[in-house]
Structure 1
Amino acid sequence: MAARPLDARALAALAANPGCRRRALLDGAGVDKGAVAEALGSPAPFGQSQFAFARGNAFEARVKADGGRALLGLVREHRGAPGGAPGGAAARVPDLAAAGPEGRVARTALALREATRAAADEGAWTLLDHPLLALDVAGSPAYLEPDAVVVDPGGRWTVVEIKSFPVIDGSADAAKVGAAARQSAVYVLALERVALRTEDARTGDRALLVCPKDFSNLPTGSVVDVRKQLAVTRRQLDRLTRIEEIADALPEGASFDVSGRSGEELSAAVEALPAAYAPECLAACELAFHCRQRARGAGLVESLGRSVRGDLGGLTTAAAVLAAARGEAGHPTKSEAKRS
C-alpha cells in the first residue's frame, strides 16, 4: 500500500509522546491511522471546520499582504533584526514553484542560499512564502511546509508559524501554543539540515508565532523558544530510524491493511504494539479513542493523565491502587480488578 506521508503535525505529535511504540511504528510505516481507527470502530472526529479554515486563510493573507510588510515588521520587532532593505524597498519574495515535492525542496534550498547572499551583499530582507523542506524519517523523506521563513539582513533564518487562535491581554491558550512550538521545532530541525549546506547560514532555536491580537484581526507576534522541543524531536527521530526493532516484535503475518484483514486480526495487530496513552492524545492521534477504550477497559491509571501515572509509579491499574490504599498485600484478584 502507498505510505501515508508524514507532515509537521504528525512529527510534532510523535515528539509530544515519544514513548508510544504504537504510533512510532504506524507513522514510520506510513499507515493510515484514521482508516485503522474506523475499521476498529473507534473513529476520531478530526478535521478543521470550514469556518475556522476560511478564517485562518484570511488571517494569513492579511499578515502576508503588501509583500509581507506587517510580517517583516513583527520579525524586526521581536527578533532584534537589523533595519529594512535599502531605500525602504519591499522584501524579496522568490517564486518557489517547481515540479513535484523534490523540485520544490531543491528550489527552496536554492532560494535560501540566494537570500543569505543577498542579505550579506545588499542587506536585503527575503520572505519565503510556504517553502517546502524535507526531513529524513525512518529512511524516507517527510515533506514539511511552514507558513513562512524570513531571512533578515543579518542572514538569520526565522521560522514563522501563523495561527488563527487569539492572543488576549498578552496570553494565549497554553495547549495551542505548546502544539505550535512543537510544530515549529520540526521546521527548525529541517531548516538546520539545509543550513549545514549553506555558507554563513544562521537558524537559531527561536521561532516567531503570529496570532490575532485580542478580538481583532490585527496580527501580533511572540518569540517561541523551541530548544526543548528540538531536543525531544531529535531523540524521537533517532528512535524512528530503528523502527525495524519495533516491527520485529510483531507476530508473523501481522498487517494493518484495513481491506485485507478482519476486525479481529486488525485489532490483534494493533494490540501487539505497546501504546503510551494519555488524554492529550485525543487532540493529536487518530487512534486515541481506541487506546482510551482499551486503557479504561483494563483499568489502567494512564487514562487519568501522565501526572497521575507518574505519581503512582509501579501501581499501573486502579485495582492495584485500591489494594495498596487498603493495605492489602499482593496483586488484586481478577474479580477485584473487574469491580474497580
Structure 2
Amino acid sequence: MSTTHDTLRERLAALRGPDTAPRPLDARALAALAANPGCRRRALMDAAGVDKGAVAEALGAPARFGQSRFAFSRGHAFEARVKADGCRELLRLLGADGEHAQVPDLGAAGPEGRAARTRLALAEARPGSWTLLDHPLLALEVAGSTVFLEPDAVAVAPDGAWTVAEIKSFPILDGGADAMKVGAAARQSAVYVLALDAIEPGRARTDVLLVCPKDFSNLPTAEWVDVRRQLAVTRRQLARLTRIDEIAAELPEGTTFDPARPRPALTAAVESVPAAYAPECLASCELAFHCRDRARAADSIDALGRGLRADLGALTTVTAVLSASASPPAACAADAQDDPAVTALRRAASLREEALRAGGTE
C-alpha cells in the first residue's frame, strides 16, 4: 500500500511541474469540489496541488474572483479580536461567559504531525472544563488522497461535545446575514464536521458557531447554523468522487500542468482531463472561464446550467435544442419526436409565437 501511495504522490508531483510546491486543498475548495463531483479536471488538479489560478492565467482565461488584500487583513484583525485574552469573546459566544479554557499548543512538524497533535489534544481534553483548539489541523480521506483542513477553532465543551467555530468578516445586520455567504460558510463548516466525524463519529455537533461582526461595528456576535443538510450532501458527493489514481492512470505519459509550458501544450494537457462545467463554477473555480469558453465552442448546453441540462435529456447541444423547438417537426431527428423535452420545447415555441403575434396587433 505504501508503494502505491508513493507512486501516486510522484505522479501528482509530476503533474504540478518540476520543483513546484503543492497548493493545499482547503475546506472551501473541497466544498466546491463536492458541489460538482463529476468534474474530473478539478478533482485531479486539486489533489495534485496545481495552482489553477496560474494555469488559467497561462491559458489566457484568468479568474475574476478572490478576496481583496483589504478584506483579508480585516478578516485577520477580526479573528485576532475574537481570540484575544484567552479566547474570552469566543467563550462568551459559546455560552461560557466568564469561564476559563485550556488552549493547547498544536504545533508540530509537517501537516501529518499537526493532525496527529490535534487528535491527541481532542483525546486529552478534560471532562467538565472547556478546551479550545486554535487552528487545529484535521485530516480527511478524499478519493484515495489525504486532505488537510484547518478550521478557525474547535471547542470541546464540558460535556465532551466538539463544536466547530467559523469566524467570518462579513457582518450580521439586524440579526441576519447575507444568505449566500452564510450558505458558503455552512458548506465549508460541514467539511470540518465531516473530518471530525472521521476521528470519532458522533462527537461533533451538527450546528456550528458562525462568528461575525455585529452590524457596522467590529464587535463580535454569532449565530448557530445547522449544517445537517450540508453535511449529508457533502458526504454523499465526496463518496461519488472517482479515485484520483484512476483519473491519473488514464492520462497520457508525460502530462503536466506546469504553467511555464507553451500555451498549446498546456491547453492539450488541461483538455486531456474531462471537465463538468456549470455556471456555478464561475464563483468557485479558477479555471471556470476557460471551461466556459470550451463549452460554448462545443455548442454544449452545459454552459446554460445543470437544471436546464437535466430538463433537456438527450438534447446536448444548443443547435439540437433550437432544432427541436422549430417547426415543422421534421426539423427534429425522428428518434426524438416523442421525447417529452422536444414536446415541451415545441409547445413553448408555439406559445412564444402566439404572444409575439398578439403583441404586434395591439
> Deviation per CA, 1:19-52, whole angstroms, max 9, x where unpaired?
2121112222332222221221112134421211
Query: How far apart, in 2, do the equivalents of 1:75 and 1:226 lie?
Result: 17
Rounded to whole Å, the distance in 2 between the matches of 1:3 and 1:164 is 27
Q: Counterparts of 2:111 and 2:43 in 1: how far apart (Å)?
A: 24
What is the aligned partner in structure 1 of residue 300 from structure 2? 300
Q: 1:24 to 1:220 in 2, by over 3 A?
A: same
Classify the secondary structure of the residue corresponding to 2:132: strand
Question: Aligned to 1:164, what secondary structure does the other structure show?
Answer: coil
Counterpart of 1:136, as a letter, is: E
1:202 aligned partner, one-letter code: R
Measured after TM superposition, the shift of residue 177 of structure 1 is 1.6
The number of residues matched between the two structures is 312
Provide the TM-score with structure 2 as the length reference. Answer: 0.78
Deviations 1:184-237 (A, max 9, x none): 1111111112225xxxx7213221111122222222222222223323333444
Q: Percent identity?
A: 71
Aligned pairs for 1:27-42 (under 5 A) are 27-42=46-61
The structure with the largest alpha-carbon Rg is: 2
Deviation at 1:159, TM superposition (A): 0.4
Specify the SS of the correspondent of 1:135.
strand
The 1:245–1:141 alpha-carbon spacing in structure 2 relative to 1, beyond 3 Å, is: closer
Residue 63 of structure 2 corresponds to which residue in structure 1?
44
Is 1:104 the equivalent of 2:114? yes
How far is the alpha carbon of 1:126 from its aligned partner? 1.4
Contact 1:28–1:240 at 8 Å: present in 2 too?
A: no
Q: Alignment partner for residue 66 of structure 1, among 64, 85, 93?
A: 85
Summarize the alignment of residues 185-224 of structure 1 with structure 2, pairs less than 5 Å apart: 185-195=190-200, 202-224=203-225
Q: Which amino acid aligns with 1:329?
A: C
Q: Is the 8 A contact 1:168 1:213 kept in 2?
A: yes
Q: Render the CA deviation track for 1:253-279: whole Å, top value 9, x for unaligned.
A: 4332333x4322322232232222122
Counterpart residue number, 2:267: 267
| 8 A contact 2:162–2:203 mirrored in 1 | yes
- 2:15 is the alignment partner of 1:15: no
Amino acid at match of 2:31: A
Distance in 1 (CA, whole Å) between partners of 2:272 and 2:111 is: 34
- SS of equivalent to 1:313: coil
Q: Identify if the C-alpha distance between structure 1 residues 50 and 262 changes in structure 2 by more than 3 Å, giving closer, same or farther.
A: closer
After TM superposition, list the pairs within 5 Å mapping 1:122-201 onto structure 2: 123-195=128-200
Q: Which amino acid aligns with 2:332?
A: A
Equivalent residues of 1:15, 1:229 under 8 A apart = no
Deviation at 1:239, TM superposition (A): 4.2
Name the counterpart of 1:283: 283
More off after superposition, 245-254 vs 165-174: 245-254
Q: C-alpha separation between the residues in 2 aligned to 1:54 and 1:13?
A: 24
Contact 1:135–1:143 (CA<8 Å) still a contact in 2? yes
Cα contact 1:137–1:241 (8 A) shared by 2: no
Aligned partners of 2:317, 2:73: CA distance in 1, in Å?
44
Deviating more after overlay: 143-152 vs 295-304: 295-304
For structure 1, the residue ranges without an aligned partner over 5 or more in a row are: 77-82, 332-340
Aligned residue identity for 2:239: D
C-alpha change, 1:303 and 1:204, in structure 2 (3 Å) is same
Counterpart of 2:319 in structure 1 is 319
Which runs of at least 4 in structure 1 moved beyond 4 Å after TM superposition? none
Give the secondary structure class of the aligned counterpart of 1:204: coil
Verify: 1:26 aligned to 2:36, yes or no: no
Alignment partner, residue 238 of structure 1: 239
Cα distance change, pair 72–89 in 1 and its aligned pair in 2 (3 A): closer
- Whether 2:339 is the aligned partner of 1:329: answer no
Q: Gaps spanning 5+ residues in structure 2: where?
A: 1-12, 14-20, 335-362
Query: Take 1:148 and 1:51, find their aligned partners in 2: how far apart are those partners?
Result: 23
In the superposition, the TM-score normalised over structure 1's length comes to: 0.83
Q: Which amino acid aligns with 2:73?
A: A
Task: State the one-letter code of the partner of 1:182.
Answer: R
